[in-house]
């Protein structure tokens, strides 16, 4: 059943991902027909065709590699490296004007941008699920001994700015806490917070986790997490929480008399005093009660080699609602597109900065994008999240293709402008050589980033550890 569900989700992902690419190419196709260019082939997917048919002089084909599509336009710059050889030689066809080349090249990004607006309008109506952890700027927990803990940052602090930039959300790219931390370049990161009505500034020194030589390099962090309402999703059988009478949908508001800003703070509390009982203040409906329990070690956890030693601590047996309280936001199409453009330009700026830790290996290729879609579809509100991500991806596709790099649409536009200025086309042999080199580099980069993307799929993760508690009479104490 799980395998069938995985395959069904994967099929949904492939259909949606390929739709985005085909719409982009459809823009080139329609513009080429409008301007009277020769359209030799419109291909969905790459590789050897498994089906093809010629209609009105155009060969429509379906390839065997499910990765996008292309439109073959021999009067434009040669793309034989990617699309294969054309039947018509470019020098045997009537020349086209630089304006025609610009219009045809620009049509792809224009259609991607228009498709982004279509998705944005749909998201505007149906809404996008948003969790507390994404929108808050209040610290929920601080890792003991981490950079933030060392300088005195505390749960409950509301972060106003990071590295001199105001922040409005915790996660994502742009004016967010996580982005300003990873994209910072100084030895320390100024963090301005509001605590008890007073503004205070701290300067933690970021750290990076050690990674293997074949893994993506980790990015800077100050080891804090966002505030999140501690809502119980599940209580494990025979666990201290179950024996104490806790139930799903109970909300834990305090631990040992201290306000609880995130359920992640509970393991930290246990880690510091593993032999001490916990007293949780719990809200159930309108009632508030105190519940005391002693954490215990689940069966088999100590001997399990899949669990790191630092994670082998007593537990109370509570699974929490991911993201805390959820709401449905209805951002306007303009807000969505603006946020996507900001994310794209911010990423490019970080990549071009010589001091930034963000490198090309941190981007995602087709495999990484498919994985993101797969994870979104797995969630309860996956289709809404996938619609929202399609806005981001279409805007990225449009902007990336406008970069003045040969093979990309922006490269075609740049070459057409050069042709208009020189009043003659660029030398065909030189152009073919440049296009081939750039195509090889782009394909090489795709393979490079796919190497890292493949490591993020589920088969790379450690096996999920099943947490079980022994009956009370035989539960080990620790």
DSSP 21-41: HHHHHHHHHHHHHHTT----E
> What's the half-sphere exposure (Cβ side, CA atoms, 13 Å) at 202?
20
117 and 10 within one domain: yes
141 and 195 within one domain: yes
State which H helix or E strand residue 444 sits in: helix 428-454
Low-confidence ranges of the chain (pLDDT < 70): 1-3, 5-6, 77-92, 458-465, 473-478
Asked if residue 407 belongs to a domain, the reply is yes
Residues 156 and 138: beta-carbon distance below 8 Å: yes
CATH number, domain containing residue 245: 2.30.42.10
Measured between alpha carbons, how far is 76 from 101 in angstroms, rounded to an integer?
7
What the block records as the tokens of 303 is 């001997």
429 and 446 within one domain: yes
Rg (CA), the chain: 27
118 and 9 within one domain: yes
Asked if residue 371 belongs to a domain, the reply is no
235 and 221 within one domain: no
Domain count, the chain: 3
316 and 240 within one domain: yes
Instruction: For helices 428-454 and 366-378, give the axis angle rounded to 10 degrees.
Output: 40
162 and 53 within one domain: no
181 and 97 within one domain: no
Residues 78 and 49: beta-carbon distance below 8 Å: no
Range of the domain at 305: 230-327
- For residue 371, the SS3 value is helix
89 and 25 within one domain: yes
Measured between alpha carbons, how far is 125 from 179 in angstroms, rounded to an integer?
28
Measured between alpha carbons, how far is 104 from 353 in angstroms, rounded to an integer?
33
Asked if residue 257 belongs to a domain, the reply is yes
235 and 222 within one domain: no
Asked if residue 202 belongs to a domain, the reply is yes
Asked if residue 196 belongs to a domain, the reply is yes
Q: Which of 196, 226, 256 is the last residue of a domain?
A: 226
Residues 212 and 235: beta-carbon distance below 8 Å: no
Measured between alpha carbons, how far is 175 from 342 in angstroms, rounded to an integer?
9
Asked if residue 284 belongs to a domain, the reply is yes
Give pairs for 25-28: CB < 8 Å, separation 24+: 25/68, 25/69, 25/70, 25/71, 25/108, 26/71, 26/111, 27/107, 27/108, 27/109, 27/110, 27/111, 27/112, 28/71, 28/73, 28/104, 28/105, 28/107, 28/108
Residues 231 and 249: beta-carbon distance below 8 Å: yes
Angle at 143 between CA 454 and CA 190, to 5 degrees: 95
Which 8-state DSSP code applies to residue 123? H
- Torsion angle, CA of 298/304/310/311, rounded to 10 degrees? -40
237 and 210 within one domain: no
261 and 243 within one domain: yes
Asked if residue 465 belongs to a domain, the reply is no
Asked if residue 237 belongs to a domain, the reply is yes
* Confidence at residue 110, expressed as pLDDT on a 0 to 100 scale: 96
């Amino acid at each position: 059943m799980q395998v069938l569900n995985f395959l069904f989700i994967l099929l949904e992902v492939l259909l949606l991902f390929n739709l985005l690419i085909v719409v982009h190419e459809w823009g080139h196709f329609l513009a080429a027909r409008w301007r009277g260019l020769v359209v030799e082939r419109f291909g969905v997917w790459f590789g050897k065709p498994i089906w093809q048919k010629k209609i009105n002089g155009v060969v429509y084909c379906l390839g065997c590699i499910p990765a996008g599509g292309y439109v073959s336009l021999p009067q434009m710059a040669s793309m034989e490296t990617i699309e294969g050889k054309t039947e018509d030689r470019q020098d045997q066809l009537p020349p086209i004007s630089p304006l025609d080349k610009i219009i045809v090249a620009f049509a792809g990004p224009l259609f991607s941008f228009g498709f982004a607006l279509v998705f944005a309008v749909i998201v505007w109506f149906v809404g996008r699920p948003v969790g507390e952890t994404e929108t808050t700027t209040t610290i929920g927990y601080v890792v003991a001994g981490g950079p933030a803990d060392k300088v005195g940052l505390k749960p409950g602090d509301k972060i106003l700015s990071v590295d001199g930039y105001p922040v409005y959300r915790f996660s994502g790219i742009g004016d967010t806490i996580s982005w300003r931390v990873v994209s910072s370049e100084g030895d320390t990161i100024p963090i301005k917070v509001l605590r008890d009505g007073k503004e205070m500034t701290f300067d933690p020194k970021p750290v990076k986790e050690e990674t293997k030589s074949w893994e993506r390099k980790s990015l800077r962090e100050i080891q804090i997490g966002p505030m999140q309402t501690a809502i119980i999703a599940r209580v494990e059988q025979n666990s201290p929480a179950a024996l104490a009478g806790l139930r799903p949908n109970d909300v834990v508001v305090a631990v040992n008399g201290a306000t609880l800003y995130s359920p992640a703070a509970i393991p930290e509390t246990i880690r510091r005093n593993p032999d001490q009982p916990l007293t949780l203040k719990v809200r159930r409906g309108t009632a508030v009660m105190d519940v005391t329990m002693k954490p215990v070690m689940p069966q088999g956890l100590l001997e399990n080699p899949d669990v790191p030693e630092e994670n082998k601590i007593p537990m109370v047996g509570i699974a929490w609602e991911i993201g805390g309280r959820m709401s449905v936001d209805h951002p306007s199409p303009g807000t969505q597109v603006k946020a996507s453009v900001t994310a794209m330009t911010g990423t490019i700026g970080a990549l071009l900065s010589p001091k930034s830790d963000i490198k090309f290996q941190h981007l995602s290729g087709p495999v990484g994008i498919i994985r993101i879609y797969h994870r979104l579809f797995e969630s309860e509100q996956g289709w809404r999240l996938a619609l929202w991500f399609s806005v981001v991806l279409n805007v990225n596709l449009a902007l990336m293709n406008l970069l003045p790099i040969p093979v990309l649409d922006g490269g075609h536009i740049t070459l057409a402008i050069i042709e208009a200025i020189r009043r003659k086309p660029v030398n065909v042999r030189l152009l073919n050589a440049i296009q081939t080199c750039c195509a090889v580099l782009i394909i090489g980069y795709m393979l490079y980033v796919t190497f890292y993307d493949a490591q993020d799929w589920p088969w790379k993760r450690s096996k999920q550890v099943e947490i079980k508690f022994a009956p009370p009479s035989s539960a080990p104490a620790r």
